Amino acid sequence: MRLEPYEDALREPVRAALDCDAAGWHLFAISGQGAHFDGWWDTLNTQVAQGEWIAYAIRQRATDAIVGTTSFLNIRPTRQCVEIGASFLHPSVRSTLVNAEAKYLMLQHAFACGARRVELLTDARNLRSQAAIAKLGAVREGVLRRERVTWTGHVRDSVLFAVTDLDWPDVRERLTCRLGGDRDPAARPA
């Protein structure tokens, strides 16, 4: 698995990876599926250009296919905090190690760059995502009630998880074991 920073050449492969699971998109603040993709892509890339987000396509090495997306957002350098989010995986790679490896690479990169805290938020209705985040070793810190409105008009409660620099050594060891040993430092985000 490899994380590739967004660029124009990835637009159509990302569209293909995200054009599925309409029900899953109802849990997101904005939709990147179907007819919503172009607006989603343009909004996200505007935020990237403004330095507010760093977005990655997730490429599966075995098939060379783009199988999802994930981002750094809410980047707060003065507080040494960042959020990992806007993550969507094609159903074909859910419940595999793709998510764990992507999050491992992002956490490794964030802490190598001086982060003190990495947050992960998910819709309180998304039990699968909550379980996946907890399995990474992130600490569930609570629920942010009525935290945002999704593109469907639903007022969302968000569950907040975090990994701190103090947690990272144990989380890193746990993920390294789960992923089968040494991680390739050349594969980390650009």
Tens digit of each residue's pLDDT (9 = 90 or more) over 151-174? 999 999 999 999 999 999 999 999
Residue 27 one-letter amino acid? L
Report the alpha-carbon distance of residue 98 to residue 94 in Å, rounded: 7
d(CA 124, CA 146): 10
CATH number of the domain encompassing residue 53:
3.40.630.30
Number of structural domains the chain divides into: 1
Q: Is there a domain that residue 187 lies in?
A: no
Query: What are the tens digits of pLDDT across the range 14-45?
Result: 999 999 988 888 888 888 999 999 999 999 99
Domain that holds residue 63: 2-182
Structural domain contains residue 9: yes
Q: What is the mean pLDDT of the chain?
A: 93
In this structure, is residue 160 part of a structural domain?
Answer: yes
Task: Specify if 188 maps to a domain.
Answer: no
Q: Does the reported pTM lie above 0.85? A: yes
The answer as to whether 81 is a domain residue is yes
- Which of 27-31, 146-150, 181-185 has the highest mean predicted lDDT (pLDDT)? 146-150
Whether 148 maps to a domain, the answer reads yes
Question: Residue 15: inside a domain, yes or no?
Answer: yes
Residue 190 located in a structural domain? no
pLDDT for res 30 = 84
| pLDDT above 60 for 188 | no
